[in-house]
Amino acid sequence: MTTGLIPGEQPPDPRPTSGLPHQWREPVGHGIMPVENRPRSSVITARAAASFEPVGRSVASARSFVRDTLQGWGFADIVDDAVVLTSELVTNAVIHTSTWADLLCLRCDDGVRIEVTDRYPEREVPLRGPAADMGGPDREGGRGLQLCAALAGRWGVEYTPAHKTVWFQLDVPERPVGARSAGPVLPSELLPIADARVRVAVVQIDRIGAVSSWNEDAEELFGYKADQVIGKPLTDFAAWPHTPGTGTGIAEALQLSRWEGSYGIRDTTGRVIPVYASHLRVRDTDGDPSTVCLLVRDHERAVLQTPLRVPSDSAASSESQSTDPFEVFIGSPAPDDLDGLLQRTVERARDMLDGDSAFLLLATDDETELEVRASTGLPSARQRFARVPVEAGSGRYGSARMPAVHDDLAALPGAVPLLNGTGMRSVVTVPLKVEGRLTGSLGVAAEGAGRYSNEEALRLQFAADRIALAVESARLGELERLRRGSLSFLVEASDLLAGTLDRDQTLALMAQMTVPTLATWCAVYTIADQASEPYLSYVLHEDEELIDGIKSLLSKIAPPDPVPTPGARVWSAPGEVAHQAALRTSMRSLGLSSSPDTRVTPGIGPTLTTASAVGGETVVLPLVARNRVIGMLTLGKPADEHFRQEILELAEDLSRRAALALDNARLYSERTAISQSLQRSLLPPELPAIEGVEVEVIYRAAGEGNEVGGDFYDLFPISDGAYGFAIGDVCGTGPNAAAVTGLARHALRLLAREGLSGPAVLERLNSAILDEGARSRFLTLLYGELRPQEDGSAELKVVCAGHPLPLRLRQDGTVEPAADPQPLLGVLEDLELYEQTVTLDPGDVLLCVTDGVTERREGPRMLGDDGLADVLTTCTGLTAGAVAARIMRAVERFASDAPSDDMAILTMRVPELHQN
């Protein structure tokens, strides 16, 4: 990836001009729109550019680049939309069209413009005319323009003969500008009490969340010296409040452009000191983001807390005007996120009625249940999105739609299920309503009985009426963020699925992305071909101990029908079979079974647990790729749970992406299997045993999947007592090189067994290679004939046609070439080759290698012929196998990177006479 950042520059137009038609075109720095909708000119105040190579990891790099750039420019409001759009467009370039992607970010006075350019010249340049169909939502690709139309304020496409540029512009929302007035005048006795000196701790946090600065007031407040905390994460000292539904943690708060609120810091004694904090996200002179945290004791929060906002033109008459009741109750500024608003609400409600605990529940869309979203003063076990039903009659939450006061819960157990076992005696609850519709319930409880009356209920209802509309608005905003989060989820899922071509890993990724985000458990069925039945390939549950039980249960059920119709359909078989199995097991355990075997079944526990795990709703989504059903994705919930429609829609989108990734993995596996089978066919199945000569071969194919072609070797009997051997290297890899490899190995055997000499064999092989025409390749080859002698030596006749020379190791440790270089094969028609005779005495070794050994590199260094000879001098007295192993270890240790070329090593050694 290459990047460049030019702040404050008006950039030139980077695209070449031509007379060819394109959709819209105007100089960079202006919003590109049709002429009739062209906006006013915008001044470019900053520019960031990057280029990404056509590999899967580039998509994640592009997202990070856009996120860092926009956050550095202070445009946090539009970061998420920009990242989603950029991810889709860069994916189209580097994944689908396999070209480099050029990314350009332009900061204007009215927003941000981002351009993504691919280099796909083969694509036809469209003429101006009616807008092309961007495809429906069910298409497996081509959603980038749909997202631009949905999320961007303006967008367009430009074509040139060599490039295609898709751009979009996001407008920055207007921020209120004005002064904040001071708070009201308070009597001296109502002012907060502070120490003799108000200390403000100033803490600087770097981009990874570690403390980079710690002032003297921080040392006094918390007891740590600067050298004790600098470099450590703030999360090691921060005591973040664990509240239900709180999506913003300390790490997220440090990433926000501004944040204000309460939490705690643990001092050196382990005691938590409540503090009020104000965070400001800044950027240093080098452009690196960091966060400045101002911390005071919580009771001194007035030093940092933002005052009430009062219009400046009404400041003089503020005494005659009433303050906004919402601001009075919730405080100012109001939290922007739903979780913060709900938590602030329960804390203020508890303080207003001087209670011991408070809770807030939000209603589901159908108003049949209330879900705990915030609480204070209650056990954490009750803060995990617990749900209670809304009943019309008396009993549990029968009064949810009306204010209610309970003087003593001990006399009416179960009236408020959330408070069972908490020690709370009295409670007041009021509904939250918007336009007459129940949206939630707010309650305050105390440990003493009879604490509340109708007067407190009216006060709490007044506060609930002020906050209900804000809560509903924040809830709708959260729902919109969840929908956009779904887009981010799909982007990340596509990234992960595109990053692997392994079938098993693809299946595992499908399941892991589904559980527990979308479902409690899932199972993946695969179909090998149209004539095959669905096969259960993968099962995952969020509790690993239940996986085997679910797998066993599903293996006894007929798989769902492979229906290609899109969408999720309910599959009731797992739940029904699980309940029946659990019922039979329970009856046998009670001796009620009609079976003659009434002994207690030891597996009752796992059976009932499995039934509970799969007893909820189960749905099946087809995995369709290239117009063929290749499997099914099954999602399940535990007992009494159902899927939300939004989850099923998200699962359907995921299934389309997963199906394509799974089919790609299948195609890659088939290609790899063919490649490996062909590679094995080009090598001899086994080496013959030669009396009086030790022989060892080591072959290492480079590249993923052992790409066919490259180096080869052979050793075969020619006639009584004579053996032919060869080691060669074909130029290049792939099918064309493999064709020459197969031709050479089989031709050598046939020609040698005809009784031809070595030069005659190679000359005829040279003619056969040239006859291949366009498929012919250069071939370096060392060929020889080996004949053991009666005196214990071995006679070799060798021809070295352009191949690395064989090396002979004598017993005294000297190393010398055993042949002279001659022309390689596949170049000249008329070759004049000759053979040389070499005698290996007892103890001598002949080493033959391919150029993958001698050309092993580490930076500018290369092993070379001299380096190989140096290693061979250390092999005196070793067997042929030990010599080959030592050579291979030396080659592998010469460089840290994996070998980039095939390597073959052939060693032959004549044992000493006393070993015979």
> Does pLDDT of 624 surpass 80?
yes
Mean pLDDT of 455-477: 85
Which residue would you say has higher pLDDT here, 860 or 415?
860
Give the residues across from 434 on adjacent strands.
Answer: 437
Which residue would you say has higher pLDDT here, 808 or 615?
808
pLDDT at residue 842, rounded to an integer: 92
Burial of 397 (0-12, 13-18, 19+ CB in 10 A): buried
pLDDT at residue 176, rounded to an integer: 52
DSSP string, 872-894: HGGGTT--HHHHHHHHHHHHHHH
Q: Which of 28-32, 249-253, 589-593, 868-872 has the lowest mean pLDDT?
A: 28-32
- On average, the pLDDT of the chain sits at 77
Structure tokens at 555: 């293996």
DSSP string, 324-373: PHHHHHH-SSPPSSHHHHHHHHHHHHHHHTT-SEEEEEEE-TTSSEEEEE
pLDDT at residue 916, rounded to an integer: 44
What is the Cα–Cα distance from 582 to 589, expressed in whole angstroms?
11
Which residue would you say has higher pLDDT here, 819 or 603?
819
Percent of the chain with pLDDT over 70: 77
Mean pLDDT of 751-778: 86
Structure tokens at 487: 């887009």
pLDDT at residue 15, rounded to an integer: 39
Confidence of residue 19 (pLDDT cuts 50, 70, 90): very low
pLDDT at residue 868, rounded to an integer: 93
Q: Which of 9-18, 188-197, 290-299, 673-682 has the lowest mean pLDDT?
A: 9-18
pLDDT at residue 726, rounded to an integer: 94
Percent of the chain with pLDDT over 90: 19
In terms of average pLDDT, the best of 176-185, 410-419, 447-456 is: 447-456
Mean pLDDT of 278-284: 83
CA dihedral 812, 814, 815, 819 (to 10 degrees): -80
pLDDT at residue 191, rounded to an integer: 63
Q: Which of 340-349, 564-573, 638-647, 775-784 has the lowest mean pLDDT?
A: 638-647
Which residue would you say has higher pLDDT here, 330 or 197?
197
pLDDT at residue 135, rounded to an integer: 45
pLDDT at residue 245, rounded to an integer: 34
Which positions ≥6 away from 847 have C-beta within 8 Å? 806, 807, 808, 809, 868, 872, 883, 887, 905, 906, 907
pLDDT at residue 608, rounded to an integer: 62
DSSP string, 587-649: HHHTT--SSS--SPPTTHHHHHHHHHHH-S-EEEEEEEETTEEEEEEEEE--TT----HHHHH
pLDDT at residue 329, rounded to an integer: 67
Maximum CA pair distance of the chain? 124
Whether 382 contacts 376, CB under 8 Å = no
Mean pLDDT of 796-809: 94
5 sits in which H/E element: strand 2-7
Which residue would you say has higher pLDDT here, 424 or 386?
424
Parallel, antiparallel or unpaired: strands 404-406 and 569-570: unpaired
Which residue would you say has higher pLDDT here, 736 or 14?
736
> Does pLDDT of 222 surpass 80?
yes
pLDDT at residue 11, rounded to an integer: 40
Burial of 424 (0-12, 13-18, 19+ CB in 10 A): buried
pLDDT at residue 308, rounded to an integer: 45
Mean pLDDT of 538-552: 85
SS3 state of residue 788: strand
> Does pLDDT of 164 surpass 90?
no
- Tokens 């050598």 correspond to 748
What is the Cα–Cα distance from 347 to 517, expressed in whole angstroms?
30
Which residue would you say has higher pLDDT here, 780 or 352?
780
In terms of average pLDDT, the best of 478-487, 494-503, 592-601, 701-710 is: 494-503
> Does pLDDT of 380 surpass 60?
no
Confidence of residue 548 (pLDDT cuts 50, 70, 90): confident
Mean pLDDT of 675-680: 74
Q: Which of 48-52, 577-581, 814-818, 868-872 has the lowest mean pLDDT?
A: 577-581
Mean pLDDT of 432-439: 84
Which positions ≥6 away from 773 have C-beta within 8 Å? none
- Residue-wise pLDDT for 231-274, tens only, equals 999 988 887 764 333 345 677 778 777 777 788 898 888 888 88
pLDDT at residue 639, rounded to an integer: 67
> Of 618, 623, 614, which Cα lies nearest the Cα of 547?
614
Whether 909 contacts 915, CB under 8 Å = no
Question: CA–CA distance from 397 to each of 394, 402, 432 (Å)?
Answer: 8, 10, 14
pLDDT at residue 331, rounded to an integer: 63
Which residue would you say has higher pLDDT here, 254 or 144?
254
CB atoms within 10 A of CB 559: 20
pLDDT at residue 782, rounded to an integer: 95
What residue type is 859 in one-letter code?
G
* Residue 618 backbone dihedrals phi, psi, to 5 degrees: -125, 130
> Does pLDDT of 472 surpass 80?
yes
Sign of CA dihedral 421, 423, 428, 433: negative
> Does pLDDT of 285 surpass 80?
no
* 510 Cα distance to chain centroid: 12
Sign of CA dihedral 888, 894, 899, 904: negative
Confidence of residue 393 (pLDDT cuts 50, 70, 90): very low
Q: Which of 330-334, 391-395, 831-835 has the lowest mean pLDDT?
A: 391-395
Whether 307 contacts 183, CB under 8 Å = yes
> Does pLDDT of 410 surpass 80?
yes
pLDDT at residue 599, rounded to an integer: 42
> Does pLDDT of 63 surpass 90?
no
> Does pLDDT of 465 surpass 90?
no
> Does pLDDT of 909 surpass 90?
yes
pLDDT at residue 219, rounded to an integer: 93
pLDDT at residue 907, rounded to an integer: 95
> Does pLDDT of 795 surpass 70?
yes
CB atoms within 10 A of CB 443: 27
Mean pLDDT of 152-157: 85
Confidence of residue 687 (pLDDT cuts 50, 70, 90): confident
- Residue-wise pLDDT for 814-847, tens only, equals 999 999 999 999 888 888 899 999 999 999 999 9
> Does pLDDT of 858 surpass 80?
yes
pLDDT at residue 202, rounded to an integer: 94
pTM above 0.95? no
Mean pLDDT of 305-320: 45
